[in-house]
Amino acid sequence: MKASPIRDLVVGLFVLAGLAAIGYLTIQLGGVSYAGPGGLELYASFDEIGGLSRRSPVRISGVKVGQVTAVELDDFLRARVTLDLDPSVRLPVDSKAEIRTSGVLGDQFVALEPGAEDEFLTAGEELAFTQDAISIERLVGKFMNSDDGDDKQ
Amino acid sequence: MRSPAIEAVGFRTVAGIEQLGRLALFVGQVALRCVRPPFRSRRLVGEIYDVGVLSLAVICLSGATVGAVLALQGYTTLARFGAEGSLGAVVGLSLVRELGPVLTALLVTGRAGSAMAAGIASMVTTEQLDGLRMMSVDPMAFVVTPKALAMVLVMPLLNGLFIVFAIFGGYLVGVELLGVDGGQYLTSLESSIDLGDDVAGSFVKAITFGSLVGFIATYRGYFSEATAAGVSAATTGTVVVSSVAILISDYVITALWGV
Amino acid sequence: MGTAIAEGALDFQVALDGVDLTLGDRSIFRSLSCGFPRGQISIVLGGSGAGKSTILRLIGGLLRPESGAVRVAGLDITEIPERELYQLRMRIGMLFQGGALLDSMTVYENVSLPLREHTDLGEDAIAEAVRERLAAVGLPGTEALYPRQLSGGMVRRAALARAIVRDPELVLVDEPFSGLDPINVRRIEALMVDLNRQRGITLIVTSHHLASSLRMGHRLVFLTDGQAISGEPAELLASGDPRIVEFLRAEQDGHALPVAAGSGSAS
């Protein structure tokens, strides 16, 4: 078969466009975001993490600085969450980790509230202060129960 | 005791197993020719043009439209809960995991798979394949393999383009029309999609569907009857069997992969 | 059987021996035996459905018989593996009824395909070979056209150019005249005679066009009832075999041929 340069060019452009689309999906959407090896890895333990899971975002003042890379039970049957943060974030040792919900029914994320100490947390350390997830179901349940109690008993 | 009904079932079962065996042999022969030289790269480029470039317009247009519809539908539902911010996640997840690969494969089946089967079947009818054989040219290597391979290679590319155009269509409707914050749309999109599960799963589906359509189309064409009716039977058969195979395998992959 | 005519004296390039073939549930050949001599034009005649095309497909190895031998150039092609069959086909050209040109390719790409696939010729040598063959079939300058742009007769001539581009020793031709006007019939007939005379090619041609068959055929093979009666045209016409007479009478109505069935026996 004879070569037809224009068709070859079009096919080449098509393949490039397809690869660019795949690249966009893997890099931008697939999110190799902050979580590269060598990121700042910290731990935090909670009694209740609600719907927090792997890949949930970690935010400081609402700005995304990392993500949850693992959720497991520790020896005391508490939830031990591994956070992978942007290494340029310098977090005082008395910072606090809190599980919050974006909106009423939105996703859960870890909010970090920086402390006041001059010393900073380094990789592998554990956040000392944590606040559990507020479970809406539980709140609603409590409210309903107390309501029932007042009215019927 | 002989029951005609049971006998008929038996015959059909045997015929079905025969077909399956023939298809497996066929796939094996194509696979062999993919790795054994001579490689017909010029033929492959031509087929990629036919399958990919010629499907581009329908894929991009459908992608943008599907994205726009998803944004519209998602917005009305999410707005009830004040969760418009998650619009990107709703659009993106359903696209990447499900709609992208499945709709792309169905569209390509209609656009290129049917044409592929009809093309080979008409080559059978007009003795073009026999003509190749008499020129000592193996039609499996010359005609079938480049076509099937092009389908496998092109499907992930078109899938990627479909999803990107759909995200863009969703952005247009969600952000420009309905007033969702653009940054929030993209952030919720990016944070909800996982590389290992969602994106990789999407392309596993695309490659699987591409193989299914490629092999079904070439198989139906290659073994079609050498008549005009044979051509139309191969074309219809390809569309029907491919579509069903895409949907069934989509379920299987979703169940196994958890995508 | 009529095939007993001086068999020993003829050098058969192609010979079928006791071939049985059933397609679907229809028996096509029952113990069919016939031969096609080297360097001659043999015409296969017979009513539609008698298996004219089928016999070419058997010789080309596109079909395998249930039993019997198909010898081409000394090889029984029913016994050789696919690879050797492909080797053998390098020496055979075939012209299909519809031409069987690849419609996705130009005339040039079609005619050059066998050279491109099986030789190391450079682009110039290929172009020259294609030009020469196209000129030989009376289609100079059609290189860039696609088959759909050609008329039926031109497609067949282009296909003939493709069939002879590798200088085969044997060319199989399926119904070269069907659907053609008298001028094209004459032209293609002359081409085939030239191939035979100038290049020494053995031709096996199926046809139901009696006039041209008698003009150019060195040998006729009548297919009837799954068997063959063959011999030189004059012999066969003179044989008075009722099956041939019947065929000739039916053909005569269509072609007004000056044939008088003699009374002698061919065998």
**pLDDT at residue A99 is higher than 70:** yes
Distance from CA of C165 to the nearest CA of B (A): 10
Mutate to test the interface with C, among B32, B135, B138 (most CBs of C within 10 A): B135
CB < 8 Å from A in window 45-64 of B: 45-46, 48-49, 52-53, 56
pLDDT (0 to 100) of residue B1: 62
- Residue C253: band (very low, low, confident or very high) from pLDDT cuts 50, 70, 90: low
Phi, psi (degrees; rounded to nearest 5) at C74: 85, -5
* Percent above pLDDT 70 for chain C: 90
Who contacts A141 (Cβ-Cβ below 8 Å, separation ≥6)?
A: none
**pLDDT at residue C202 is higher than 80:** yes
Pairwise pLDDT comparison (C133 vs A136), residue with the higher score = C133
Chains touching B (at least 3 CB pairs under 8 A) are: A, C
Report how far apart the first and last C-alpha atoms of chain B are (Å, whole number).
Answer: 50
Report how far apart the first and last C-alpha atoms of chain A are (Å, whole number).
Answer: 91
Q: Give strand ranges (E) for C115-159.
A: none
Q: What is the average pLDDT across C215-232?
A: 88
Mean predicted lDDT score pLDDT of chain B: 92
**pLDDT at residue B244 is higher than 90:** yes
pLDDT (0 to 100) of residue C49: 80
- Residue A16: band (very low, low, confident or very high) from pLDDT cuts 50, 70, 90: very high
Count interface pairs B-C at CB distance under 8 A. 51
- Residue C261: band (very low, low, confident or very high) from pLDDT cuts 50, 70, 90: very low
**pLDDT at residue B259 is higher than 70:** no
Decide: helix, strand or coil at residue A90: coil
Q: Are C111 and C95 in contact (CB under 8 A)?
A: no
Residues of C engaging B, defined by a Cβ cutoff of 8 Å: 57, 60, 62, 86-87, 89-90, 92-94, 96-98, 100-104, 113-114, 117-118, 159, 162, 172
Decide: helix, strand or coil at residue A143: helix
**pLDDT at residue B34 is higher than 80:** yes
- Residue B134: band (very low, low, confident or very high) from pLDDT cuts 50, 70, 90: very high
**pLDDT at residue A34 is higher than 50:** no
Rounded to two decimals, the pTM is 0.80
Q: Are C142 and C154 in contact (CB under 8 A)?
A: yes
pLDDT in tens, C123-158: 999 999 999 999 988 888 899 999 999 988 899 999
Nearest to A22 among B86, B160, B189 (CB): B160
pLDDT (0 to 100) of residue C2: 38
Q: What is the average pLDDT across C176-196?
A: 87
pLDDT (0 to 100) of residue B136: 92
Does the beta-carbon distance from B127 to C86 stay under 8 Å? no
Q: How far apart are CA C221 and CA C177, in angstroms?
A: 17
Q: Which of A106, A105, A95, A110 is nearest to A52 (CA)?
A: A110
- In Å, what is the CA distance from A142 to each residue of A137, A138, A149, B187? 9, 6, 11, 34
Chain C neighbors of B36, CB-CB under 8 A: none
Label the pairing between strands C75-76 and A63-73.
Answer: unpaired
CA angle C238, C242, C244 (to 5 degrees): 60
Helices (H), C73-232: 82-89, 107-118, 123-136, 152-163, 182-199, 210-216
Does the beta-carbon distance from C108 to A1 stay under 8 Å? no
Q: What is the average pLDDT across B156-183?
A: 93
For residue C33 the two structure tokens come to: 């035996």
Decide: helix, strand or coil at residue C146: coil
pLDDT in tens, B188-234: 888 788 777 788 899 999 999 999 999 999 999 999 999 999 999 99
- Residue A126: band (very low, low, confident or very high) from pLDDT cuts 50, 70, 90: confident
Q: Are A40 and A124 in contact (CB under 8 A)?
A: no
- Residue C263: band (very low, low, confident or very high) from pLDDT cuts 50, 70, 90: very low
Q: How far apart are CA B198 and CA B92, in angstroms?
A: 10
């050279």: which residue's tokens? C115
pLDDT (0 to 100) of residue A30: 63
For residue A124 the two structure tokens come to: 């592998």
Mean predicted lDDT score pLDDT of chain C: 85
pLDDT (0 to 100) of residue B204: 94
pLDDT (0 to 100) of residue B110: 95
**pLDDT at residue C252 is higher than 80:** no
pLDDT (0 to 100) of residue A50: 81
Amino acid at B53: V
Distance from CA of C13 to the nearest CA of B (A): 17
- In Å, what is the CA distance from C74 to each residue of C21, C71, C80? 21, 6, 12
**pLDDT at residue C265 is higher than 70:** no
CB < 8 Å from A in window 99-128 of C: 105, 108-109, 116
pLDDT (0 to 100) of residue B74: 92
């999609």: which residue's tokens? B193
Distance from CA of C158 to the nearest CA of A (A): 17
Q: Which of B2, B251, B38 is nearest to B140 (CA)?
A: B38
Pairwise pLDDT comparison (C174 vs A139), residue with the higher score = C174
pLDDT (0 to 100) of residue A104: 61
Does the beta-carbon distance from B136 to C117 stay under 8 Å? yes
Count interface pairs A-C at CB distance under 8 A. 5
Helix (H) or strand (E) holding A3: none
pLDDT (0 to 100) of residue C62: 92
For residue B231 the two structure tokens come to: 């051509």
Chain B neighbors of C113, CB-CB under 8 A: 135, 137
**pLDDT at residue A122 is higher than 90:** no
Chain B neighbors of A55, CB-CB under 8 A: 191, 194
- Which residue in C has a C-alpha nearest to residue A2's C-alpha? C109
**pLDDT at residue B95 is higher than 60:** yes
Distance from CA of C156 to the nearest CA of A (A): 21
Q: A101-115, B89-103, B130-144: which has the minimum mean pLDDT? A: A101-115
Q: Which of A52, A51, A55, A53 is nearest to A30 (CA)?
A: A55
- Residue C214: band (very low, low, confident or very high) from pLDDT cuts 50, 70, 90: confident
Pairwise pLDDT comparison (C47 vs B48), residue with the higher score = B48
- Residue C9: band (very low, low, confident or very high) from pLDDT cuts 50, 70, 90: low
* Percent above pLDDT 90 for chain A: 10
pLDDT (0 to 100) of residue A152: 45
- Residue B58: band (very low, low, confident or very high) from pLDDT cuts 50, 70, 90: very high
Q: B83-97, B118-132, B186-200, C20-34: which has the minimum mean pLDDT? A: B186-200
Q: How far apart are CA B196 and CA C200, in angstroms?
A: 68
**pLDDT at residue C264 is higher than 50:** no
Distance from CA of C174 to the nearest CA of B (A): 11
* Percent above pLDDT 90 for chain C: 47
Q: How far apart are CA C92 and CA C72, in angstroms?
A: 10
